[in-house]
Structure 1
Amino acid sequence: MAEFGDPAVKALLVEVLDELSERYGGSGDDTPIGDDDFTSPNGAFFVADDGERLVGCAGWRRHGSTDAELKRMFTAKAARGRGLARRMLAAIEESAREAGCDRLILETGDKQPEAIALYESAGYARIEDFGYYKGHADVLSFAKEL
């Protein structure tokens, strides 16, 4: 686990938002995130490194009393194709389950086919849109029972 405010995490999050901006325009993701959203008992934030720098991240935060929401799932381009995202997703699911959450929900966009394929292959199913981007044409929402 990592601190969401750690400088190395913030540097990786710049990559996350830059890629989202490339795909969708704008600033990437304007979803409000609180300072303690990824701090226990509200959630957790995980990172992966390659021995030199951070190359992946994912976090979850509580959404209601029994749901966890996946946020900031990302693998750097240089680290893709090695199963890192699948391992990060499994760590998020386990952490949320251990914290008493029954379901993991997420929003992704229609210009992220790799993410959509990962979520569907990991057992996520489409649900009614929720959250900050509810009602946006390019948003897809998914959930999985934990």
Structure 2
Amino acid sequence: MQSEQRTAPELTTVAYTDPVARRLVTAALADLGARYGGEGDATPVDPAEFVPPAGVFLVAWRGDEPVGCGAWRTHGPDAELKRMYTVPAARGTGVAGAVLAALEDDARRAGRTRMVLECGARQPEAIAMYERFGYRRIPNYGFYADAPDCLSYARML
């Protein structure tokens, strides 16, 4: 089990409407809801925003089990990171880092030069990962720009 947890997950591109994607997004929103209340994230999302080349939705797999996901969508000239999530049993095993690196590569190939994201102050593990990857605070933007717990980050690709 330990060696499996250290191996990089397999990543596949799926539609945002794919049943596996929907299951992971539902779990991600439940996690956010537990941290912040409400439905987790009320940011408007259109599944078409994650269709290449304007964006992508990735699922991370270990064997037959989906263990995480993440996406990017076009936000003006930037790529915006959305729906990053790792199932609790796979946290701390490199899933999120693998997904993030793949999303950055995909956005770069699509011609984006910067990735931006909104994160909440009650997600210390996510904040630590983003900062480890070189993301730095920027002025808040987007749906939660005026929310007191919102932290926005960016990184040049």
Give me the TM-score of the superposition, normalised by structure 1: 0.97
Tell me the residue number matched to 2:36.
24
Aligned letter for 2:21?
A: V
Q: Which aligned segments of 4 or more residues in structure 1 are displaced greater than 3 angstroms?
A: none
**Counterpart of 1:52?**
64
| 1:75 and 1:85 in contact (8 A); partners too | yes
- Taking every aligned residue pair, what percent have the same amino acid on both sides? 50
Q: Which residue of 2 aligns with 1:113?
A: 124
Q: In structure 2, what is the Cα distance between the partners aligned to 1:55 and 1:5?
A: 17
Q: Which amino acid aligns with 1:6?
A: D
Contact 1:125/1:142 (CA < 8 Å) preserved in 2? yes
1:12 aligns with 2:24: yes
Query: Which of 22, 34, 39 does residue 51 from structure 2 map onto?
Result: 39
Name the SS of the counterpart of 1:106 in structure 2.
strand
Give, in angstroms, the shift of residue 54 of structure 1: 1.3
- 1:94 corresponds to 2:105: yes
- Structure 1, residues 79-132: CA drift from partner, whole Å, max 9, x if none? 111111111110010000000001000000000000000000100000000000
Matching residue of 2:134? 123
The one-letter amino acid of 2:82's match is K
Deviation at 1:50, TM superposition (A): 2.1
Partners of 2:65 and 2:26 in 1: CA distance? 14
Give the TM-score normalised by the residue count of structure 2.
0.90
Cα distance, 1:52 vs structure 2 = 2.8
Unaligned runs of 5+ in 2: 1-12
Number of residue-to-residue matches in the alignment? 145
Question: SS of the residue aligned with 2:118?
Answer: strand
Distance 2:46 2:39 in 1: 18
Q: Which residue of 2 aligns with 1:144?
A: 155
Matching residue's letter, 1:15 = A
The question of whether the paired residues in 2 share the 8 Å contact of 1:9 and 1:54 is answered with: no
Equivalent residue number for residue 2 of structure 1:
14
